[in-house]
Chain A
Amino acid sequence: MRKYCFLLLGLWAVLPAQAMEPIQHWVTDKGARVYFVPAPELPMVDIRVVFDAGSARDGGHPGLARLTNALLDQGAGDLDADAIAERLESVGARLQTGSRRDMAWVALRSLSSEQHLQPAVEAYRKVIATPQFSEGVFERERRRALVGLQQAQQQPGEVASRAFHTELYGDHPYATPSEGTPESVQALQPGQLRAFHRQYYVARNAVIAIVGDLNRARAEQLAASVSADLPAGEPAPELPVVEDLTAAQTQRIDHPSSQSHILMGQPGMRRGDEDYFALYVGNYVLGGGGLVSRISEEVREKRGLSYSAYSYFMPMARPGPFILGLQTRNEQVDEALQVLRDTLNTFVEQGPTEDEMEAARKHITGGFPLRIDSNSEILEYIAMIGFYGLPLDYLQRFNDRVAAVTRDDVRDAFQRRVRPQRMVTVIVGERPSE
């Protein structure tokens, strides 16, 4: 999960002209927004339909968005789950469904020749538009989801993440876990899933991203075909505003683990945030740059306290979390937490050094071509650009915007946006016995 967050954060840019064709954009008759990048080198196609149908839309029924998404390929149109899987897999196609707080998606990877792609798309469009949500399937998948929730309880990192979001977001829809809680999942009914699908899996609430061995005409056909069975519907309403934290809070949760997992943070920034580049570049220095960041240097390299110590912003539709984290043997919690806090405080007070800024700019701009060196990465980016309504030339302008960030910009942005004295801290582990 965290890996995925880094991926989304890793949106740096300026492209060498030859690396990626410009993004093509249009809207289908039904009102779905399409983003397309031709990639003729490999005989394959990736398509991902993203809906504003993540768990932020659960509406007081945590787990609803996730379970709705999980049931899509378990029976749709006239096909049961076996038939869907057979049709896709007999042509080597891969279907993937998933959801997080902001979004839910259905993705297909297929060979691009017509005899492969066509049968795969036939099944794919049914999965998206006409899932069955039958009683028996619902009951089975709910039971599986409950086992998943029990397994999450075994993992200190999962326990920490759930508690962290609850503390951070209070009454906001971002507070509840996408997987729901045992009680909330137990209370779900198939009718709720049907209603959720009817409201949110609609063309005007969808972004279609396509990358692969297709010309524009075939891509238009493909987009039209996967959205044809969707009602036009309405875009999802705006999410409520996220309130800032007013005081520091610390929560300790007992867990039978040899390590404690520490998460500390606050609401961070949204996609398209005016401080995005200053915070992004600054965070690279603070805790985003793998082994070379300040947090990693202080916690791991100098003191050997943790295998993984980091910070990151997770930009979302509304301010997603700014998270600092590490795991350490239970006996070292106080020391590690102190180091983490000191490192953050110093950084917010003083900002990065000129050398650190230079290194950050070089890393981010110099590594740009790596971000778009495969179809799957390009797909990830254009889906994100489309979903959050970022400008089409976002990637082209990215390196210039990174290069323009100064040391003062970073210090100023961190001082305005980051409040070390009003953070949530969650510690999950076994308290060392006296």
Chain B
Amino acid sequence: MKIAFLLRQLALAMALLAAAPAWAESGQVHEYSLDNGMRVIVKEDHRAPVVVSQVWYRIGASYERAGITGISHVLEHMMFKGTEKHGPGEFSRIIAENGGRENAFTSRDYTAYFQQLEKSRLPVALELEADRMRNLLLPEEEFLKEVRVVMEERRLRTEDKPEALTFEQFNATAFLNSPYRNPVIGWMTDLESLNIDDLEDWYRRWYAPNNAILVVVGDVDPDAVAGLAAEHFGPLKAEEVAPPKPRTEVEQKGVRRIQVQAPAEVPYLLLGYKVPVLLTAEESWETYALEVLAGILDGGQSARLSRVLVRDRQLVAEAGAGYDLHNRQQTLFLLDATPAEGVDIDTVEQALRGQIRRLRSEPVSAAELERVKAQVVADRVYQDDSIFYQAMKIGMLESVGLDWRVGEEYVERIQAVTAEQLQAVARKYLIEERLTVARLDPQPMDAEARARARAAQRGGGHGH
């Protein structure tokens, strides 16, 4: 459960057309390409007179080099600070007056901007998005305020959250040279030294129609959407977009282990195994098998972590597992846990690793495997209740360089996974040599104890 939270942490949120013809069918996907290289993907869903529009850019924290971490996310904030045509904040005001909701989010692999609107307002959103794709002004006085907002955001999301802080340091330990070691929000000192020229440069390099995907889902006529997209985005000039250097993570040579000391009440444990993703795997079935393994461990209350560790042995208050096969680069198969009251964190680590050992040593039962698959089949239906999520799925895949059809195959590929394959990937990837462990070691919370600790530290410091 907590893993879901951590995975979300990786993505930071900031802040039409004629009625569909009677023959229109929900669920159909239509693809278009503009002459400047921009892709347009439209999916029909006629359940309600609404539309979601998302512009995805192939740029995120994993494109950033040392010293400018967090720049993609700061630029996302600056995208609301005005163009020639529309002053700072104007974008948000116009969307609001049209009854819309809007926001944006940055992750390791992409940055996306979205509006949710009554369907007749779609042109408003497309015009504004096209305008800020190439015409952002980036006023320095706005930047100086906004970067302070982002620092507050960093304090809120990471600095003052002991578990998030542990995750950040864990991640930077697990990856040596892969850009996945950097937090999406950036290191504080990088934010402090960021300047407007850095942002100008970043914006010119990545914000171009040939590096963007427009995804529209809702009660729309796809050809009419394509027409609007051509009208607004068509005139924009393409840019030379150099693909980022590969920065493939070096092979890990043994367990890595860190301790994070922070004021806290409750210890916390994180384990991560280096595993391939769909884009890097030699055999794609391996990644679907890893998805199923995460389900065997954490796919509901009947899954192993909840059943064995929470309820039966009562060693943990919470435990979770997670993996995302759609990342752009090699990623981590994650486990985390909060010890139950009075249970030693060593015991908890042994128990989690015991669960991993069991995946290696014995085949998963048919009933467990069927339960994971039944949930995946049902989730596929539930997901369609949200047009926003339907658009997300398409955009996430396309922005990392996978085809949106990969999402359509997901259920089938999961259903094909066998118990032998589960054991094979567990034996190949969930092994010591690929493991990183982090522990949160709680430090006193109250003011007096903190003062004593500081004094002791200072005292100790003189000796060195």
Contact = CB atoms under 8 A, between A and B. Distances in A.
B445 A369 contact: no
Interface in B154-170: 155-156, 159-162
A85 B145 contact: no
Contacts of B445: 153-154, 255-256
B264 A41 contact: no
Given A147-B317, A301-B89, A258 B266 contact: no
Given A147-B340, A304-B145, A94 B99 contact: no
A5 to B, nearest CB: 16
A365 B382 contact: no
Interface stretch (A59-67, A228-236, A271-279, A285-293): A285-293
A289 B156 CA distance: 21
Contact of A290 (B96, B318, B446): B96
Interface stretch (B43-51, B224-232, B421-429): B43-51
Determine which residue in B306, B384, B446 has the highest number of CB atoms from chain A within 10 A of its CB, and name it: B384
B118 A369 contact: yes
Given A92-B378, A367-B99, A258 B155 contact: yes
B375 A370 contact: no
Given A16-B49, A292-B93, A306-B152, A368 B99 contact: yes
Contacts of B162: 154
Given A81-B311, A92-B374, A372-B48, A359 B152 contact: no
Given A85-B301, A90-B374, A366-B98, A257 B149 contact: no
Interface string A93-121: 11100000000000001110000100000
B204 to A, nearest CB: 25
B344 interface: no
Contact of B152 (A109, A116, A327, A369): A327
A85 B378 contact: no
Contacts of A329: 151-152, 155
Contact of A150 (B89, B266, B377): B266
Contacts of B48: 19-20, 369, 372-374
A291 B80 contact: yes
A2 interface: no
B148 interface: yes
A254 B300 contact: no
Interface string A105-139: 00001110000100000000000000000000000
Given A18-B49, A111-B378, A328-B152, A370 B311 contact: no
B217 to A, nearest CB: 11
B450 to A, nearest CB: 6
A86 interface: yes
B121 to A, nearest CB: 7
A363 interface: yes
A202 interface: no
B259 interface: no
A150 B264 CA distance: 9
A111 B301 contact: no
A376 interface: yes
A89 B266 contact: no
Contacts of A297: 89
Contact of A363 (B99, B266, B317): B99
A92 B338 contact: no
B302 interface: yes
A258 B371 contact: no
A172 to B, nearest CB: 28
A143 B160 CA distance: 25
Contacts of B97: 359, 362-363, 366
Nearest to A330: B155
Contacts of B322: none
Interface in A231-258: 254-258
Contacts of A116: 378
B346 interface: no
A interface SS class: mixed
Given A82-B311, A258-B160, A359-B93, A89 B374 contact: yes
Interface in B394-427: none
A217 interface: no
Contacts of B161: 154-155
Contacts of A92: 374-379
Determine which residue in A153, A154, A366 has the highest number of CB atoms from chain B within 10 A of its CB, and name it: A154
A151 to B, nearest CB: 5
B263 interface: yes
Chain B: interface size category: 35 or more
A307 B74 CA distance: 12
Interface in A344-375: 359, 362-370, 372-375
A44 interface: yes
B15 interface: yes
Contacts of A257: 155, 159-160
A422 interface: no
B300 A370 contact: no
Interface string A21-57: 0000000000000000001011110000000000000
A146 B384 CA distance: 37
B382 A94 contact: yes
B179 interface: no
A58 interface: no
B381 interface: yes
Given A92-B379, A303-B145, A370-B99, A256 B450 contact: yes
Contacts of A372: 48
A143 to B, nearest CB: 5
Given A18-B49, A153-B265, A373-B50, A254 B160 contact: no
Contact of B266 (A19, A111, A151, A254): A151
A367 B121 CA distance: 10
B56 to A, nearest CB: 21
Interface in A131-170: 140, 143-144, 146-148, 150-151, 153-156
B385 A42 contact: yes
B36 interface: no
Interface in B47-96: 47-50, 80, 88-89, 92-93, 96
27 contacts: A44-B381, A84-B301, A85-B300, A89-B299, A89-B374, A90-B371, A90-B374, A92-B376, A143-B341, A146-B341, A154-B265, A254-B446, A258-B159, A259-B159, A292-B93, A297-B89, A304-B145, A305-B152, A307-B153, A327-B152, A362-B97, A370-B118, A372-B48, A373-B47, A373-B50, A374-B387, A376-B386
Interface of A: 16, 18-20, 39, 41-44, 73-74, 81-82, 84-86, 88-95, 109-111, 116, 140, 143-144, 146-148, 150-151, 153-156, 254-259, 289-292, 297, 300-308, 327-329, 359, 362-370, 372-376, 430
Interface of B: 15, 26, 47-50, 80, 88-89, 92-93, 96-102, 116-119, 121, 144-153, 155-156, 159-162, 263-266, 299-303, 306-307, 310-311, 314, 317-318, 338-341, 367, 370-371, 374-379, 381-382, 384-387, 445-447, 450
Given A367-B118, A373-B47, 12 more contacts: A16-B49, A18-B49, A110-B378, A143-B314, A154-B263, A255-B445, A257-B155, A307-B150, A307-B152, A366-B121, A367-B99, A374-B387
Closest 8 CB pairs of A and B: A366-B99, A92-B378, A367-B99, A304-B145, A85-B302, A85-B301, A304-B148, A256-B263
